Structure 1
Amino acid sequence: MVQAVKTPLVSAWRILPEPVRGLIRIMRPKQWPKNGFVFAGIMFDQQLTDPDSLLRVIFAFVLLCLSASAIYVINDLVDIERDRQHPKKRNRPLPSGQLPVSWAITAAVIMPVAILGTSLAYNLALTAVLAGYLALQTAYSFWLKNIVIIDVFAVAGGFVLRVVAGVVVIDVTSFSPWLYVCAGLLALFLGIGKRRQEFILMGDKAETYRPSYKEYNLPLLDDMLRMVTTGTVLTYILYTIEAETIRSNGHKMLLTVPFVLYGIFRYLYLMHVKGEGGAPDELLFKDMPLLGTAVLWGLTVGVVLYVA
């Protein structure tokens, strides 16, 4: 059945003009699941079953996906020469020549304007969050990613803003600020892990590819990773105990802690033993134990918050 669906999709993909395929690739639809952070507010505020609230968050999710795609286009325009030196990124649409630079520039200008215009007609608070996200990530593409330590904080800030975007479009009643901290620390964990694996992969070329790597070394990245790993686990455990929504469920959310611990340990195993972790979004769907853990965590959270 999967093959029956896949075959016509592949055929349709192949008949698209080369630049159009390049434009779709540079928008990175495979990375849109990252924007699932926007559903944290509605899920943990126990409003997931409310159709109006759910539609509002889905709308925010779509705009965030398009915003992230606009940033990917801008980032690849800035990094086109560096990506040509990278063993994997040189196959991206711009450095490989699949997508004309003029097309990318046009998309980089039109997409943010269209996104903010659409959002402004719907929700002012969401527009402010999206504008902040676009501004932060544009600054990251041009400057912040070249500043040691600040680079990973900028990435983490983008994930926290994703959570905020899902909160401002609904009327939250008992959403815990602990989740902002959890989201930020988890993003730092993934971002530092990605830096570490890229630093190893690039070897002697690391400093040429990204100027901030002149200030990094493996011991520093490992120490940062240990600190953030500990902080992520402790913060999540505190959330399961202290959050107002959770206390009303008799601390049953503690049942989800083993899944979080296993997920983090599995990711560390894949990083240190298997040499993975350079692309966290891809790794989640490629490693079945990691994906299974995420699914079981989500199901357990759903049962605790909406059934128990």
Structure 2
Amino acid sequence: MTPPLSKADEPADATPRGTGPEAIKAIPVRHPGRYVSAVIAVALLVAIVYAFSQGKIEWGTIPDYFFDDRVMTGVGKTLELTVLSMVIGVVGGIVLAVMRMSKNPVTSTIAWFYIWFFRGTPVLVQLFIWFNLGLVFEYINLGPLYKDYWSSFMTPLLTALLGLGLNEAAYMAEICRSGLLAVDEGQTEAAHALGMSHSKTLRRIVIPQAMRVIVPPTGNEVINMLKTTSLVSAVQFLDLFKVASDIGQSAASTVEMYFLAAAWYLVLTSIFSVGQYYIERYYARGTSRALPPTPLQRLRTVVGRPNGGMA
């Protein structure tokens, strides 16, 4: 049996019995630059607000027209154009992505040329091209199905749909293609080895996994499309921006109506952003151990805390 150590034999750095380790006093690092930048940012914000408050803007005009019937009609037309253009863009993008990935050199070349042209030219230029094709083609003749003057056929709505939808298809094609390429080829080979057809493999194996890559940029494209619809006022389509501009000219409140249109765009994009968050959260299942809490769950957590929700 080993005899107990005496005090002289104990190591010098040994901790006395019955006492714990000394608490570490952590001194936070100071960041004076953060305070300086915050003060500068607040000062700039106050200066901008003060400048606009001193300007000749009738701010009371904005709430007076915010829910005007003409404005609400423009909001509805903007949402309708956004949804229809995105449907054309998504469907066209899927078709172009499949063509782009095809081993057939003809179809892949056609898809590449389409994407190259529509991504390389501005949307406004494309809108004007569609709107003024009546200068090139006097009639549109589809045989026994349809025949009419081009100016009567190419309405502002059709011009806006073609200009926005076909342009969006070029961007969605690259988004869909990147999503499909993100799925491991081994899964496709395994599905084929099990006897699954190519279409069933895409539908059951590839596309559900590709959606995790496709959905986030698609949500951004929807929000971007909502704002891009303001360009169709150039082809006489009565969207939100066109209606606000017309009201501003008739009521001599041009700048006020521009701010009104901006406020409505902010409201709509905020709503779309919330929807995008929930869709991304849905497709994130299986990739994260714990899904991020929803805004409602965060609110319940804060309300449920003691002392009025103070941490």
- The two structures share one fold, judged by TM-score above 0.5: no
Rg larger for: 2
TM-score of the aligned structures, taking structure 2 as reference length: 0.28
TM-score norm. by structure 1 comes to: 0.28
Q: Which has the higher helix share?
A: 1
